[in-house]
Structures are given as structure tokens and as C-alpha cells.
Amino acid sequence: MLEKVQKRATRLMFRDKSLSYGERLQKSGLTTLETRRLHADLIEMFKIFKGFDDINYQKHFSLSSTELRGHDFKLYKSQVNLDVRKYFFSNKVIDIWNSLLVIFTSL
């Protein structure tokens, strides 16, 4: 729903009808709402693991036991069957989090 509003707003900003939504976003310096949500989720994960939020990450996440590759904060993703659990914060962010090259371990 919000994405539709942003599409309409960028259409009003540019009178050139030949520009696609992505080109309008690029010219206006905006990102998609999906990208902004992902960015906010990753910032929240960083704050949880570094103790900036008063949340015990061990209650919601389990660290992966494999030390083959990745980083020290690599998470285990459990199998889920319900959509409610699939789209919950502690499950939806794991794949992106695990794919990051973490450079903040010395902070």
C-alpha cells in the first residue's frame, strides 16, 4: 500500500511519463520501501547483538554451530511451516544477516 503511494508521489514529481519507477527513485535519491525496511531490520540486528538494545538475543536466535565460513554471529535458521512464523522478524532477517560480511566484530 505504501509503495503505491510512493509510486504516485514520484510520478507527480516528474512530468516525464517515459521514466520508470526505478528511474524516478534514482533521480529523486530515494530507495524502495522494501530496501528501507531491510536496512532498518539489519540495523536492529546489529543493535541487538552489540547490546545497544535491552534484548537478550539468545532468547530469539540461536547461533550456528558450523565454523566453516561466515562470521561469529552467523545464525541457525529453523524450519517453519506457518506463514506467521515465516515472516516474523527473527526468521525473515536471518538469510540476509548470514550473507553479510561482518566487520564489526572488533567493536
Above 80 in pLDDT, residue 105?
A: no
Task: Note the pTM of the prediction, 2 decimals.
Answer: 0.66
Q: What is the pLDDT of residue 104?
A: 55
Q: What is the CA radius of gyration of the chain?
A: 18
Q: What are phi and psi of 91, to 5 degrees?
A: -110, -35
Per-residue pLDDT, averaged over 87-104, amounts to 75
Domain boundaries, the chain: 45-99
Q: What is the pLDDT of residue 101?
A: 64
Q: Nearest to residue 31, comparing CAs of 2, 58, 64, 71?
A: 2
Query: pLDDT tens digits for 28-87?
Result: 888 888 888 889 998 998 898 888 988 887 787 777 776 656 566 778 777 777 777 777
Asked if residue 96 lies in contact with residue 38, where contact means CB atoms within 8 angstroms, the answer is yes
